[in-house]
Amino acid sequence: MQLIATVAVRLLRLALVLACVAVVSFGLMMLSPIDPIDAYLGPQMAQVSPEQRDLIAERWGFDEPPVVQFGHWLGQLIQGDLGVSHVYNQPVSEVIGQRFQRSIVLLGSAWLLTTLVGFALGVIAGAKEASLLDRIISTYAYLTASTPAFWLAMLLLLLFSVYLGWTPVCCAGPTGTLSQDVSMATRLHHLILPVATLALVGIANITLHTRTRMLALMNSNIATHAFAQGASRWDIAWRHGIRHASLPALTLSLASLGELFGGSVLVEQVFAYPGLGQATVAAGLRSDVPLLLGIALFTALFVSVGNLLADTLYALIDPRMQKEAP
């Protein structure tokens, strides 16, 4: 019964979060100064007559009051239909599915690299406090923590793609090549810079938090007792530090999924990578309400699953938390 109650409470919270995300996103879209008909027509807006504009407004429901538009979208959502994107002229579910297949490779690679490298650097810096290695790692972490992702992306693009020519300038494959004709090696080659940009920015937070936990351990009674028995700082870091610091690092890593997705929106724009982030920008700039609401709900669900996964892994890493749970 307790398990059923816990699951029910979590599902209720998730439903409330998704409802708030949908209402806020729709409200912001309605407050946008972008005219949806002009955004739909693009450069051809001057070639369309007022009668044709009325037909377009009637076709996509632009002429209906906001409450009616939201009610229509909500009715479709209850039936399992996210609507149709007028930017891509496809069902929203298909657009999200196609774009997410590309973005999940980018996000997954960057997340894994960020977690492993950030945790390792934090443990090393904490174990070698005040050493040259600690100062180098801390300086790198502070610099990249304050670096905007889009600025770092443009810097890497100029250095490795324009000047050195080692990596492609853009896209998920060579320009003019069909997606099914692009080899795995070519896809990975195009992913190097976007993944590196997201990882370099994300590593800093995990490194600094892990270093702080390691410093707290090194100044604790556990470390003092171990030092008295002849243990070195590396011994303490290996036997006690990794487990001590892994819980906050895991929490931060899974909680950063939303931040990682936000960074991917900018990075995909810089590298013209056809993922979910680029579709988000297109939906916002062209006032594609169904697509933007669909992406907002999908992203909120994605981040919520990450947080739920973090809560579940707590008990595996530290069984004391499971015992303390009501």
Nearest to 73 by CA among 290, 285, 260: 290
What is the pLDDT confidence band of residue 117, given thresholds at 50, 70 and 90?
very high
The tokens for 75 are 């009715």
Contact 69, 292 (CB under 8 A): no
**pLDDT over threshold 80, residue 68:** yes
Indicate the helix (H) or strand (E) that contains 301: helix 289-317
User: ∠36-83-80 over CA atoms, to 5°?
Assistant: 155
Strand partners, 84: 91
Give the rounded percent of residues in the chain with a pLDDT score beyond 70. Answer: 95
Q: Is this structure's pTM higher than 0.75?
A: yes
What is the pLDDT confidence band of residue 83, given thresholds at 50, 70 and 90?
confident
Pairing of strands 84-85, 90-91: antiparallel
**pLDDT over threshold 70, residue 315:** no
The tokens for 118 are 């950030």
Q: For residue 28, how many C-alpha atoms fall within 13 Å in the half-sphere facing its CB? A: 13
122-163 pLDDT tens trace: 888 888 888 888 899 989 888 888 888 888 888 998 999 888
Burial class (CB in 10 A: 0-12, 13-18, 19+), 314: middle
Give the C-alpha separation, 71 to 65, whole Å. 10
The tokens for 20 are 């708030």
What is the pLDDT confidence band of residue 326, given thresholds at 50, 70 and 90?
very low
